[in-house]
Amino acid sequence: MWYCGKGQERMKSKRVVVAMSGGVDSSVAAALLLDKGYEVIGVTMSLFSLPPDLCRSTELRSCCGWRAVEDANEVATKLGLPHLVVDFRREFEKSVIGDFCTEYRRGRTPNPCVRCNQHIKFDILLRRAARLGADFLATGHHSRVVRTRDWIPYHLKKGKDRAKDQSYFLYTLTQHQLSHLLMPIGGLTKKEVREVARKKGLRVAGKPESQEVCFVPQGRYPDFLRERIPEAFQPGPILDLDGRLLGEHQGIVHFTVGQRRGLRLSSSRPLYVISIDPTDHAVIVGPEDALLRKQFLASDVSWVSGERLKDKIWVKAKIRYQHKEAEALVVPFTPDKVVVTFVEPQRAITPGQSVVFYSRDEVLGGGIIDRVVA
């Protein structure tokens, strides 16, 4: 059982498990911790099985698969640390891939990276690290864990390299989890990380970054989903905002809010996907200005502090990873739901995506966009 007592210094405990994906970030994280005197154990997660022809492909940009395992093992050997491979395929299938398919069936656009961090890395892997006798789990995330003497002892902050910052994907972290997490590269830019790797003689120094969704090779979402949720490929109507029939589509999984390409409609002005109705398998389209909305309901809300929101709060909110944060008012609705209202309308607020709340460079919490209200 882990316990972090009052006033305990992190450096007093030496053993750390590093989640090694075979990429440059996690490799450098392991190297930096070794330099600081930690006893490092490298662990690579086996999360799903890729087709044999892709498994060892040099073109595959995935953080999973045997190519990633081999790269991680090579780094571990170079650094002189033990390396383990843990099989989490069953858990990943249930918690991440299953949810991914369910959300697309509902006409929503999920973010599996958030689910993977929440249920796999910082739940199952964190508990496995404890079983290995480790005091900490370390990752190669471009984010920072900061300890203070405030009433909230641990704070989650953006990484130094704002272009690579990954704090958006980590908003579900709890105080207990943060007390056992190390993110060694959060204070470095990507350029600096690669330079450290080169100085250490790590072959992964120039390795390309992994693709956004690791378990969908080459981004072929329809091919992946067709085998798992064929019912989501049922043809349906394409309607305008007044309910008039404009055409027909071949499955709601082909569309997301804000999309323009693939509609195959003849119109005097550009049309975009405004919303998706999974009950009637309908895709509703309209002009671009119809994508501008101000208010939505978010569910499954969590706060890094561990305290539920009791009163309204002003934040900077981010509605997808590449979205620029915007000022918004967050009002509690139920214990795990909030109403978010932007000062200025935002483009393509998408159900299924995560909304993350910031105060300057600190992550306050976040949730899943459930329903656009206005």
What tokens appear for 277 in the block? 């109705």
What is the dihedral sign for C-alpha 326, 150, 300, 180? positive
Q: Could you give the angle at which helices 24-35 and 66-79 cross, rounded to 10 degrees?
A: 20
pLDDT of residue 196: 98
In the chain, list all ranges with CATH 2.40.30.10.
291-372
Q: What is the pLDDT along the chain (374 residues), one digit of tens a residue?
A: 343 333 334 445 489 999 999 999 999 999 999 999 999 999 999 998 765 554 444 555 555 567 889 999 999 999 999 999 999 999 999 999 999 999 999 999 999 999 999 999 999 999 999 999 999 999 999 999 999 988 889 999 999 999 999 999 999 999 999 999 999 999 999 999 999 999 999 999 999 887 668 888 777 888 899 999 999 999 999 999 999 999 999 999 999 999 999 999 988 899 999 999 999 999 999 999 999 999 999 999 999 999 999 999 999 999 999 999 999 999 999 999 999 999 999 999 999 999 999 999 999 999 999 999 99
The whole-model pTM stands at 0.92
Contact 56, 67 (CB under 8 A): yes
Q: Which of 63, 101, 113, 214 is catalytic?
A: 214
Topology, domain 291-372: Elongation Factor Tu (Ef-tu); domain 3 (2.40.30)
In the chain, list all ranges with CATH 3.40.50.620.
11-219
CB neighbour list of residue 361: distance below 8 Å, 6 or more residues apart: 157, 158
214 is catalytic: yes
CATH of domain 234-286: 2.30.30.280
In the chain, list all ranges with CATH 2.30.30.280.
234-286
CA atoms of 289 and 269, how far apart (whole Å): 12
Strand order in the sheet with 272-277: 245-249, 236-239, 282-286, 272-277
**Burial degree of 51 (CB within 10 A; 0-12, 13-18, 19+):** exposed
pLDDT of residue 65: 64
CATH of domain 11-219: 3.40.50.620
pLDDT of residue 3: 34
Task: Return the DSSP state at 15.
Answer: E
CA atoms of 179 and 230, how far apart (whole Å): 43
pLDDT of residue 94: 96
Strand order in the sheet with 181-182: 83-87, 39-46, 15-19, 136-138, 181-182
pLDDT of residue 49: 76
101 is catalytic: no
CA atoms of 366 and 298, how far apart (whole Å): 8
pLDDT of residue 1: 37
Contact 150, 126 (CB under 8 A): no
